[in-house]
Amino acid sequence: MNEYNEYILKTNKLGKAWIWTAAVLIFMVPVAVCIRFNAWPAASSVLKGLLGVAPIYWTVGFIEVVTYTPMLGTAGTYLSFVTGNVTALKVPAALNAIESAEVKLGTEQAEIISTIAIATASIITTIVIALGVFLFAKLTPILNSPSLKPAFDNILPALFGGLGVVYISRNWKIAVAPIIIMISLFIAVPSLGNSVGILVPVGIIIALGASKIMYRKGWL
């Protein structure tokens, strides 16, 4: 067994341990609140609320793991899903780092680079959040400013737009079909804006199907 395989095995062991540790800590927060204030909601109410949202989040979670794991690598996947903010921050950070280093996804180099990028993004995010908590009262009027609100509302499109330009410019023929279909869907059904996580793999499938058709016709 070479060093890289040993690294992957150790990463899987540590990753699973941290995933379960994070899950326990997350569950401890509402339990601690209930103990502190002696307020215990009825099990039926908790179950009713859980059944209303769990299927959606479970579906999105499964889709995100399947879709993003090849991009993030083994260590990057564990780190991203423990620290959160995967779509908005961790994926763009990893892809941008891999792009800048000019390495291919799925390689050992991409694994290391994406892990470093995601770790750096996680540390910076944690520091920013900590500062935000301490400075929240002073920053609230600024963050709620009408002149800044449009900027905060468009952070996610700006991140993926910047990354999209790079990849679309390389393979613009492949990008035409999914872009047209997705834009048409969002225009026809605006409520789909709340289901971006589910539609990401749909766009991937459309891109793969269009690529196969164009390849057979000799357009690629």
Q: Is 121 exposed, middle or buried (0-12, 13-18, 19+ CB in 10 A)?
A: buried
Query: How far apart, in whole angstroms, are the C-alpha atoms of residue 22 and residue 192?
Result: 30
The whole-number pLDDT of residue 50 equals 78
Q: List the chain pLDDT tens, one digit each, 220 residues.
A: 578 888 889 999 999 999 999 999 989 999 999 999 998 888 888 888 777 667 667 777 787 888 888 889 999 999 999 888 888 789 889 988 998 898 888 888 999 999 999 999 999 988 988 887 888 777 777 777 788 778 877 877 787 777 777 778 878 888 899 889 988 988 988 887 777 666 777 888 888 899 999 989 888 7
Query: How far apart, in whole angstroms, are the C-alpha atoms of residue 82 and residue 60?
Result: 16
The whole-number pLDDT of residue 135 equals 80
Q: Is 64 exposed, middle or buried (0-12, 13-18, 19+ CB in 10 A)?
A: buried
Closest CA to 95 of 66, 59, 71: 71
The whole-number pLDDT of residue 164 equals 76
The whole-number pLDDT of residue 1 equals 58
Query: How far apart, in whole angstroms, are the C-alpha atoms of residue 160 and residue 155?
Result: 9
Reported as type and span, the H/E element at residue 30 is: helix 3-37
Does residue 78 sit in helix, strand or coil? helix
The whole-number pLDDT of residue 219 equals 83
The whole-number pLDDT of residue 2 equals 79
Q: What is the DSSP letter of 151?
A: H
The whole-number pLDDT of residue 39 equals 87
The whole-number pLDDT of residue 44 equals 86
Q: Would you say 80 and 88 are in contact if contact means Cβ atoms under 8 Å apart?
A: no
